[in-house]
């Protein structure tokens, strides 16, 4: 984050969103959400990248998490900004 801030003349708002927060926001739930539930949601509603693979050459866990973070943040950005969670 420090390198990112040094790159810009005017420091942009940087948000740190906890995994539990973006997972709940993505699925619109108030309880804990498992990684497998997130993958299932993304496969059914956003893009199907195949079954979850956490290791090996065809690993796709990081891609699913990146998509989940982006969509979870977009679902909850007003709350994050309103509560100064950046």
Residue with tokens 């948000």, as numbered in its chain? 15
C-alpha–C-alpha distance, residues 57 and 59, integer Å: 6
The DSSP code for 50 is: -
Contacts of 16 (CB under 8 A, 6+ apart): 1, 85, 86
Cα 65 vs. chain centroid, distance in angstroms? Answer: 6
Instruction: Please give the pLDDT value at position 42.
Output: 93
Cα 64 vs. chain centroid, distance in angstroms? Answer: 9
The DSSP code for 12 is: P
Residues 36-81 have pLDDT tens digits of 999 999 999 999 998 888 888 788 888 999 999 988 888 877 776 6
As a whole number of Å, the CA-based R_g of the chain is 15
Residues 23-34 have pLDDT tens digits of 888 888 888 888
Residue with tokens 């956003």, as numbered in its chain? 46
């Amino acid at each position: 984050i420090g390198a990112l801030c040094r790159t810009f003349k005017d420091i942009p708002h940087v948000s740190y969103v906890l995994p539990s927060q973006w997972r709940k926001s993505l699925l619109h739930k108030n309880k804990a959400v498992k990684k497998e539930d997130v993958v299932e949601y993304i496969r059914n509603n956003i893009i199907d990248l195949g079954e979850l693979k956490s290791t090996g050459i065809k690993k796709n866990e990081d891609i699913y998490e990146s998509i989940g973070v982006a969509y979870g943040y977009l679902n909850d950005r007003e709350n994050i900004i309103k509560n100064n969670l950046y």
